[in-house]
Amino acid sequence: MALLWVIAALVAVLTAGAASADSARVWAGPPDTSHPAAKPADPDGELPAWPFAVGAIAAVAVVAIWSVRRRP
């Protein structure tokens, strides 16, 4: 049951940004063409930090659930 809550929390966190951005676009009308729609690639080639944070949080959650289930 706890695993279900962890999965639901991860899905909610990962999809919140897309859901909030889409609702704003629906009511905004036609897109503005004065600026590019997509963000250009980072010229320095740096990776964003959020995938590593999500991975670390997921790993800690998995270990915590595993340790609770393995108690004698």
Predicted confidence (pLDDT) at residue 15 exceeds the cutoff of 70: yes
Q: In the 8-state DSSP scheme, what is residue 31?
A: P
- Cα within 13 Å of Cα(47), Cβ side: 5
Question: Where does the pLDDT of residue 30 fall: very low under 50, low under 70, confident under 90, or very high at 90 and above?
Answer: low
- Contact between 69 and 2 (Cβ < 8 Å): no
pTM: 0.39
Q: What's the mean pLDDT when you consider all of the chain?
A: 75
